[in-house]
Amino acid sequence: MQKEEIPKLTVYIDIKSPYAFVALQPTLNLEQYSNHLFDWKPLTLDIPSYLGSAKKNDSGELIENNRSTSQWSSVKYAYRDARRYAKRQGKTLFGTQKIWDSSIANMGISWVSMKDRSRLPDYLNNVFTPFWKQNLDIEDVEVVSRVLSSSNVTTRGFKDYVSGEGRKQHDSLQDSFHQRGIFGVPTYEFPDEFLFGREHLPYIKWRLTGKKDKTPDIAYIL
């Protein structure tokens, strides 16, 4: 019997997504377990286009509101749902004061993949964790550069990358997502299928480990 070929897996994430945050550690664990490097790519969500926008001041008071009642309900549920799993992982997940432009921090994913792929787990943890504690300004290239440095990744040329070739690559990638059927994070892409949500990790593990035993059902714990 011919051995099942292990397929390539691409993982799409966004630093500002609570669902990407709670999927991060289980996905990194699976990458290590499977001994199979994933291709991590940034998908910078346009949240206002489907959930509206809002902004709070430092006291937590709402100072801008461009959301309908149903949009607020969706946002509040998403945070409750994500916090449930963040708590199980021993992680802190605070609601954000605004919808952040995560493109610079997301370009950092591509930068690390290009400069030193072995440091990517460090960068992802070092940017996700403080951001969701409200301790990291991911819109500031200097701040993101410091995260890169703390992850032992070179920052030489990063600012030029963000304002030049990196921005072009990032924006081109975003333009292609909806045309390909990718609309949220985390999304996991095999050559023959897309899977949206961390609940598919048991199935992904099954594929990455040679389809042993029967196909698993979806689950929220890996």
| Confidence (pLDDT) at 191 | 93
Mean pLDDT of the 114-125 span: 98
In a domain, 36, yes or no: yes
In a domain, 221, yes or no: no
Q: How many domains does the chain have?
A: 1
| Confidence (pLDDT) at 85 | 94
Mean pLDDT of the 174-180 span: 84
In a domain, 163, yes or no: yes
Q: CB-based burial of residue 102 (10 Å sphere; 0-12 exposed, 13-18 middle, 19+ buried)?
A: buried
User: Token pair of 26, please?
Assistant: 């289980």
pLDDT at 124 over 50: yes
pLDDT at 2 over 50: no
What whole-number distance in Å separates Cα of residue 45 and Cα of residue 117? 24
pLDDT tens for residues 27-50? 999 999 999 999 999 999 999 999
DSSP of 17-37:
-HHHHHHHHHHHHHHHHHT--
In a domain, 218, yes or no: no
DSSP, collapsed to helix, strand or coil, labels residue 189 as strand
The mean predicted confidence, pLDDT, of the chain is 92
145 contacts 104 by C-beta, under 8 angstroms: no
The DSSP bridge pattern shows strands 187-190 and 10-13 to be antiparallel
| Confidence (pLDDT) at 1 | 42
In a domain, 179, yes or no: yes
Per DSSP, helices labelled H in 35-184 are 48-51, 69-88, 103-115, 120-131, 141-150, 158-163, 165-177
| Confidence (pLDDT) at 219 | 58
| Confidence (pLDDT) at 4 | 59
In a domain, 73, yes or no: yes
Report if pTM > 0.75: yes
ω before 26 within 30° of 0 (cis)?
no
Specify the CATH number for the domain of residue 66: 3.40.30.10
The residue with tokens 């990455």 is 208
Comparison of pLDDT for 122 and 6, the residue scoring more: 122
In a domain, 2, yes or no: no
Residue 218 pLDDT grade (very low, low, confident, very high; cuts 50, 70, 90): low
User: Token pair of 153, please?
Assistant: 């990744």
Find how far residue 160's CA is from the centre of its chain: 23
> What H or E segment, with its residue span, contains residue 204?
helix 201-208
Domain that holds residue 114: 10-208
pLDDT at 97 over 90: yes
In a domain, 222, yes or no: no
